[in-house]
Amino acid sequence: MDFDLMINSFPKLLSATVITLKLLSASLFFGLFVGLLFAILRINKNIFINKFAYGYSYVFRGTPLLVQIFIIYFGLGQIEYLRTTFLWVILKEPYWCAIIAFTLNTGAYTSEILRSAFQTIKPGIIEAGKSLGISNRIIFYKIQIPIAIRQSLPAYGNEIILMMKGTSLASTVTLLDLTGVAKYIISTTFKPIEVFIVAGGIYLFMTFLIHNFIKYLEKKYSFQ
Amino acid sequence: MEVIMNIFKKTILTVFTSLLLIGNANADKIKIGTEGAYPPWNSKDASGNLIGFEVELAKELCTIMKHECTIVEQDWDGMIPALLMRKFDAIMAGMSITDERLKTINFSQGYADEVASLAVMKGSGLESLDTPEGINLSIGGGDVKKALKTLTGALAGKTVCVQTATIHQNFLESGDVGKIDVRTYKTQDEVNLDLAAGRCDAALAAAVAFTDYAEKSGKPVVLVGPTFSGGAFGNGVGVGIRKGGTDTIGKRDAKLLKDFNRAINTARKKGIISKLAIKHFGFDASM
């Protein structure tokens, strides 16, 4: 065990964690909107809208995140026409490719989490709102959505942790996130065990923080 | 009951003897690690079999050494760690002999050498680089200094792509050509893809890696600037072997290094290396 290497690589890995956190927060932010949108489409009565939303979540939950990121980064880069459009400004950058892939992936899971939360809302609550003469719109935004978000907190907490670990795949498209820098250090020191232990420790600590934050939210917004 | 016990005993006995046999077979068997993604040094055919210069050379060397060899695949970025963890006993993966690597592992004498070059897409502004044909960083001198200065100017602010943990990455990060945006990839295939996609302004690798890609893909990839050798680019490609030691495996490793050196000598004298090099590179890259 090379403890000096572990100590020396720690600050480098810590500054790479900033990239990991940026990727995570950006994809969770966009993913929440995508997820909410598709959850609403999923509970729509129109069969085409419903099936479309289902198809999206089916495809993105049914394929590995690594494949998705490769298709978006290497796959789309091969289409010559695309390279002449304004889209290339975004797709040229590995950073944005990673965020797009992560957003679409977490969006699919989030839509399922929120859909099931919507469906578990007791009809009595909505009926109570209606009997008070509250409009459907207000019921949806002020009653259904807040309840759904509270209901989905435990599952969504898991999704955040999964996504945090998923960001390590950004290193496969040249980004120097936590895993990317760990691999970089290993490529010059040839000591994977020491470096990955430190990197793993940082991931574990982030999981610890996320887990406790979600637990705090759950307590704060509990119905009791 | 006795019948069952007999069958039971027999089975156990068979399993044990076969295990012992496997163990014995392994003792004399050498495992050679290669990447299988760096043509023409080593690559894979359509059905996933390992092919290329080093795969054929490894078989020849093993015949000379009278060792039974198996060639196994290993990702490039884990090549040296895997050797150290004894997943295999030798590396033949287009790995150049450099001072950096010699700190961790041993190398046999070089069996082939081949220059590195920058590549760009046709029509790139870098196409008209005015430099000598080739520079040797070990020799140095006015020409080399001038060429490096030209490159520093031309590459300033550009994105140059390389495979990770290679001599090419080391060179770009050495500061010899100033501060550039170096992007690293897991495989050379990915470097080629991103060069063709226009994400890289230029790429640096073994010159043959680009000519091979241009030929197979039909993409307008062209070599620019000087060819590089010496210095950070090492002293040829050799067989990577663990540093010997005093324990059984250490002694075996030390012997293996001697065996490889002798076998390379024999293969060179017989013209086997040259013949294979011409077959795969199109020119005699042997050394």
Chain A contact for B193, CB < 8 A? yes
What type of residue sits at position A86? F
Domain residue limits, chain A: 3-220
Kindly provide the ipTM of the predicted complex, given to two decimals.
0.83
Partnered with residue B63 across adjacent β-strands are none
Sequence letter at residue B73:
E
d(Cα B62, Cα B80) in Å, to the nearest integer? 21
Q: Is A77 within 8 Å of B77 when comparing Cβ atoms?
A: no
State the sign of the Cα–Cα–Cα–Cα dihedral B57, B28, B34, B243: negative
Q: Cα angle at B126 between B120 and B130, to 5 degrees?
A: 120
Contacts with A191 from chain B: Cβ below 8 Å: 81
Give me the amino acid identity at A87.
L
pLDDT digits (tens, 9 = 90+) for A90-133: 999 999 999 999 999 999 999 999 999 999 999 999 999 999 99
Helix (H) or strand (E) holding B204: strand B202-206
In what side-by-side order are the strands of the sheet with B240-241? B68-73, B29-34, B90-91, B240-241, B106-107
Does any CB of chain A come closer than 8 Å to the CB of residue B197? yes
| pTM tops 0.90 | no
Give the mutation candidate from B80, B199, B219 for the A interface (greatest A CB count, under 10 A).
Answer: B199
Look at B193 and A77 and tell me if their CB atoms are within 8 Å: yes
CATH of domain A3-220: 1.10.3720.10
- The set of residues, in sequence order, having a beta carbon less than 8 Å from that of A201 and lying 6+ positions away, is none
Q: Mind listing the pLDDT tens digit for each residue in A161-206?
A: 999 999 999 999 999 999 999 999 998 889 999 999 999 999 999 9
Measure CB to CB from residue A190 to each of B84, B193, B198 and give the nearest one.
Answer: B84
Chain A neighbors of B240, CB-CB under 8 A: none
Best of B164, B170, B192, B217 to mutate (most A CBs within 10 Å, chain A): B164
Specify whether the CB–CB gap between B35 and B71 falls below 8 A.
no
DSSP tag of B232: G
pLDDT string in tens for chain B (287-residue length): 666 667 677 666 666 655 555 444 444 689 999 999 999 999 999 999 999 999 999 999 999 999 999 999 999 999 999 999 999 999 999 999 999 899 999 999 999 998 999 999 999 989 988 888 899 998 888 889 999 999 999 999 999 999 999 999 999 999 899 989 999 999 999 999 999 999 999 999 999 999 999 999 999 999 999 999 999 999 899 999 999 888 888 999 999 999 999 999 999 999 999 999 999 999 999 98
